[in-house]
Amino acid sequence: MDDVKIKDQAAHDAAAKVADYEHGWSADIETDFAPKGLTEDTVRFISAKKNEPDWMLDWRLNAFRHWQTMETPDWAKLNVPPIDYQDAYYYAAPKPKPKLGSLDEVDPEILEVYKKLGIPIEEQKVLAGVEGARRVAVDAVFDSVSVATTFREELKRAGVIFLSISEAIREYPDLVKKWLGKVVPMHDNYFAALNCAVFSDGTFVYVPEGVRCPMELSTYFRINAENTGQFERTLIIADKGAYVSYLEGCTAPMRDENQLHAAVVELVTLDDAEIKYSTVQNWYPGNADGLGGIYNFVTKRALCQGKRSKVSWTQVETGSAVTWKYPSCVLNGDDSVGEFYSVAVTNNYQQADTGTKMIHNGKRTRSTIVSKGISAGKSNNTYRGIVRVAPNAEGVRNFTQCDSLLLGSLSGAHTVPYIEVRNPTATVEHEATTSKISDDQLFYAMQRGLDAEEAVALIVNGFAKEVLQQLPMEFAVEAQKLLGISLEGSVG
């Protein structure tokens, strides 16, 4: 454990060194590392750590062997230095503890972490157990293992299953087996395959037929151990007529070394079901010179399998050095609906390549895409999207709006829409704009009393409003602040 202490000390030092990153600190929690590097033994270690059944280990090994045969992706608009997969840790868990009955038993240090993360007061009240507080269930993925789950009982009464995915593998093997890897197959892409092999933990949600989940479900991810790749796995299933709103938010402590994050999120909606999935992503973007920062290579996909089902992705992406992420919808069910609302902010040397794929297989399926890219500093921000209409998908409609806002003259904005329509009855519309924050706007706002940064934040929030208003209330406020913070230092 000494080794761990030293690492945490190093993390503290790193955090102290650069104070301008609001969440740049590292909690002092002992970490149980898997040995460095990635071999079949690593996969076995992780599986054993999690007490997994054999079928799960086989599944992982299968993925691992497949991953070894794959090539790293071609980075299109991204500039990513080669990643040494043998020079990273693939598993880090907080010190093993007995199962917790309530939040009172949660390590105070972890609660402190929530505080620093700026978890909204309402949710802190919930965490503190204040009566009458608005109910939001928080399943905290701290490092890689869920350490606290609130409201599990109440959710259980409603029939909602909200667990860490490792618990779900043990307790609901049939549900997991039925859907895991069905939305994002293990051979889908390099990072998805890697995730299948080494995912450490994540979230599982099942909302049964006809149930409206009684509260918003919320998970806070946090990368907390140095040099530890994070491989979260999320699986959410909304059965017929079910509804659930899920919030995912993340920040990360200061680091000098690049960290890889390759999550996989799978959503499934059956007939008339709806999932609303909201993300605020604020991982460490690297410093003003482009050093450090998280690599965020996420595969997020929804399978709208049922008729009239709906999935709505809303994301606010402000963090990470490199973001590569395309939350998508496969619209199989007739009359199903996919939505993608995105704000991506890049500053300094950040690179974001994000967008969505709307795959229209069912009849009269509809999709809406609203993407707002904001680039400052020397950053690059790309919208990349596909709208595909299958030959027998009659009466499909899509509307896409891509707006880019540039701050300064050194940043880049790119829009790469692919439209593949194989059915003549489809209506596909695409609109794109690129604008700059004008000196007129800035001076007008400053003359009314705002300083330069407040003025930028205000104008940017106005630009992103259509997306921000899709977020649940408490998230919207956080997200607005985040946009301002991310653009600090981009004017003046």
Q: Does 488 bind other proteins (CB under 8 A)?
A: no
Q: Distance between CA atoms of 470 and 473, rounded to whole angstroms?
A: 9
Q: Which residue in 130, 418, 438, 477 binds other proteins (CB under 8 A)?
A: 438
User: CB-wise, 329 or 464, nearer to other proteins?
Assistant: 464
Q: Does 108 bind other proteins (CB under 8 A)?
A: no
Residue 210 or 462: the one with the smaller Cβ distance to other proteins is 462
Is 409 one of the binding residues for other proteins (CB under 8 A)?
no
Please identify which residue in 429, 451, 473, 477 interacts with other proteins, judged by CB under 8 A: 451
Number of other residues whose CB lies within 10 A of the CB of residue 44? 15
* Residues 485, 284: Cα–Cα separation, whole Å: 12
The nearer residue to other proteins, 63 or 464, going by C-beta atoms, is 464
DSSP secondary structure string, 65-85? HHHHTPPPPP-TT---PPP-G
CB of 405 to other proteins, least distance (A): 10
Identify which of residues 434 and 441 has a Cβ nearer to other proteins in the complex. 441
Whether the CB-CB separation of 309 and 336 falls below 8 Å is answered with: yes
For tokens 């891509």, name the residue.
402
Nearer to other proteins, 419 or 450 (CB): 450
Contact 218, 137 (CB under 8 A): yes
Q: Say how far apart CA 467 and CA 231 lie, in whole Å.
A: 27
Q: By CB under 8 A, tell whether 489 contacts other proteins.
A: no
Choose one: 19-27, 86-94, 416-424, 458-466; the region binding other proteins (CB under 8 A).
458-466
454 binds other proteins (CB under 8 A): yes
Helix 40-49 to helix 54-68 angle (10° resolution) is 150
From 213-221, 241-249, 321-329, 432-440, span contacting other proteins (CB under 8 A) = 432-440
Size of the site for other proteins (CB under 8 A): 24
Amino acid code (one letter) for 488:
E
- 462 binds other proteins per the rule CB under 8 A: yes
Q: Is 445 in the site for other proteins (CB under 8 A)?
A: yes
Between residues 80 and 432, which has the closer beta carbon with respect to other proteins? Answer: 432
Tell me which residue has tokens 């790469």.
416
Nearest to 177 by CA among 149, 200, 206, 146: 206
φ, ψ of residue 36 to 5 degrees: the values are -60, 150
Closest by CA to 414, choosing from 404, 425, 422, is 404
Find the part of the chain contacting other proteins (CB under 8 A) among 104-112, 241-249, 339-347, 453-461.
453-461
Place of tokens 């880090």: 92
Pick from 391, 393, 387, 396: which is nearest to 420 by CA?
Answer: 387
Classify residue 105 by its DSSP letter. G
Position 441 contacts other proteins (CB under 8 A) = yes
Q: Is 210 in the site for other proteins (CB under 8 A)?
A: no
Per CB under 8 A, does 440 bind other proteins? yes
State yes or no: residue 414 binds other proteins (CB under 8 A).
no
**In this chain, which stretch among 125-133, 313-321, 340-348, 446-454 interacts with other proteins, using CB under 8 A?**
446-454
Residues of this chain that interact with other proteins (CB under 8 A) are 438-452, 454, 458-459, 461-466
